[in-house]
Structure 1
Amino acid sequence: MRFSFLLLSAGLLLTLGASAAHAQRADTTLIRYSGQLAGQYTSGGVNRTLFSTSHSVTFLRGLHFGAPVTGSFVFGKQDRQLKEREWLLNTTPYYWKGRFRFYGIGGYERSNLRGIDNRFQLGAGPGWAFYSDSLGREVAVSNLLIRESTYFQDGSTRFVSRNSTRLKVAYSYRVFSLNSITFYQPNLQNFQDYRLTQQSTLALRFTPRFAISTTYSYTFEQRVLEGKPTDNTNVTVGVTYSTK
């Protein structure tokens, strides 16, 4: 009787262990979505209207693979003249294990503000999460080598190899959340020719899915077409929808 009890206990332990191992190896796919509509209107010395929308879909596969796909569109007028019409689409598939990350990147961009008809980016490189937790809070740095092809509105083209350093900060506390991404991308042949991009979003969540958000974005590009601005700053207020 005692021997049978020991056999039964051992069998239960083996079964539970196998189930736990199986759960850890679960071949699952998760899809997360976030979308934002925002705008800005000012009048006085300069009448300005700005509309922006951004969307993000992240595919999570198993325990170590993810593939965020993000896209944004910005439309802006100053004194009823079209100044901004910006398209941006990129994906950064990655592998992670512990704090280590390895990223790939593919990007596409169009910018009326900077005179860009088409810009394509491809690259890859490592990253490291200094902090991350189950709530999605994270502080991480990545460093990628990218190859960039730009086709300008004046018919000229430019091919550049860049180093792309990214700092990502994601933090949440109760109903507040902060997401910030900063890129520094110098030309590998001339470090004085660089691009800097920074975007921060502060959100106040009033339901599990909806939030009011304020977004600050800044871009600087050392080399642009003659007559085009080298930098641009936008502050917008809008509504964000996201799934878990």
Structure 2
Amino acid sequence: MWFRFPAILLCFLLVTRLGFAQITEQPDPLRPARPDTAKSAPRDSVEVAGDSLPKAQPAIPTPISQLRYRLTADGTATRGNVNRFLLQLTAALDLSVSKQFKFSSNPSFVYGRQNALINEREWFADFRTTYRHEKQLYYLAFGSLEKSNLRKIQNRQIAAGGVGLKLLNRQKAYLSLTNVLLLERTDFIEGQDFSVLRNSARLFGEYQLGETIRFSHTTFWQPALNQTGNMRWNGTATVQVKMTDALSLRTTLANSYESIVVPGRLRNDLRWTIGLAYERK
């Protein structure tokens, strides 16, 4: 199987992109870890002599503190009539410090250059705290900072808090809905800055198809509560194929919309990428 690895790396360098290359969505989060469900086996209804069966060994408890992470990368390079270079790096970090609290982050960076001009230099960083993360109903608070050379955003700062509900939490299927109040301030390099209060709803799902294929989707709907006509939404769909225990080949379709943009920029962006993911749980 390893003789195919150069071909896989070549696929990693080939990425198809529709529309502009920019951070059009927050990277997919990691699915929350399932709590340890190991329980003592029930006694057989038929009485058995004490020495006829070996005694059950006690279950090894799951560590309270647990770190999980996923690193993804994709990119493209062309030379000729159009000299184009693009690199996109994303990560998903998840640290459970107790049965009550969990910390998460999904940083990303995009760098793109075309005909010696830097088009993309996009930064996104966030930090989230989740309370009662093992329960069906949980609470979350987060803050984020974003910079975008392509969309002429000097700084976008966000603080939010709300609740989440696990609609489905099975071994091979997970679906959750979160709803938060979000305070956003956007400083444009060109154009009028604004601050806005939004309601942000997110639907996130992940499904295991067989032993090697995983499908996930994330959708955000973020209308402004104090400004008419100010609305943002984005959605992603990802198919990931496992090559080894830690390495996967994945492809993602992403679409986003912002109603308020600087002059000369489109409101809608569509993107299709292919890359690699390294994941440890």
Please give the alpha-carbon distance, in whole angstroms, between the structure 1 residues aligned to 2:269 and 2:89: 17
In structure 2, the partner of 1:218 is 255
- Is this contact kept in 2: 1:29–1:59, CA < 8 A? yes
In structure 1, the partner of 2:108 is 72
Same amino acid, percent of matched pairs? 28
Please give the alpha-carbon distance, in whole angstroms, between the structure 1 residues aligned to 2:223 and 2:84: 32
In structure 2, the partner of 1:62 is 98
- TM-score, with length taken from structure 1: 0.82
In structure 2, the partner of 1:53 is 89
- Is this contact kept in 1: 2:108–2:124, CA < 8 A? yes
Amino acid at match of 1:200: A
Please give the alpha-carbon distance, in whole angstroms, between the structure 1 residues aligned to 2:217 and 2:82: 29
- Is this contact kept in 2: 1:115–1:228, CA < 8 A? no
Three-state SS of the structure 2 residue aligned to 1:113 is coil
Instruction: Specify every segment of 5 or more residues in structure 1 that has no aligned partner in the other structure, as ranges.
Output: 1-15
**Aligned: 1:115 with 2:152:** yes
In structure 2, the partner of 1:82 is 118
Three-state SS of the structure 2 residue aligned to 1:93 is strand
Please give the alpha-carbon distance, in whole angstroms, between the structure 1 residues aligned to 2:101 and 2:67: 12
Higher helix share: 1
**Aligned: 1:235 with 2:266:** no
In structure 2, the partner of 1:203 is 240
After TM superposition, which residue ranges in structure 1, 4 or more long, deviate above 6 angstroms?
Answer: 42-47
Residue from 158, 162, 182 that aligns with 2:219: 182
Please give the alpha-carbon distance, in whole angstroms, between the structure 2 residues aligned to 1:51 and 1:216: 17
In structure 1, the partner of 2:44 is none
Please give the alpha-carbon distance, in whole angstroms, between the structure 2 residues aligned to 1:119 and 1:52: 20
Please give the alpha-carbon distance, in whole angstroms, between the structure 1 residues aligned to 2:200 and 2:81: 38
Instruction: Specify every segment of 5 or more residues in structure 2 that has no aligned partner in the other structure, as ranges.
Output: 1-55
Three-state SS of the structure 2 residue aligned to 1:192 is coil
In structure 2, the partner of 1:152 is 188
1:20-35 paired onto structure 2 within 5 Å:
23=61, 28-35=64-71
1:229 positional shift? 2.1
Please give the alpha-carbon distance, in whole angstroms, between the structure 2 residues aligned to 1:210 and 1:76: 25
Change (3 A) 1:27 1:241: closer
Higher strand share: 1
Change (3 A) 1:139 1:83: same
- Is this contact kept in 2: 1:27–1:62, CA < 8 A? no
Deviation readout 1:69-96 (Å, 9 max, x if unpaired):
1101112244553322211111222123
1:239 positional shift? 1.0
Equivalenced residue count is 224
Q: Which has the higher contact order (CA 8 A, sep 6+)?
A: 2
- TM-score, with length taken from structure 2: 0.72
Amino acid at match of 2:124: L
Amino acid at match of 1:64: Q
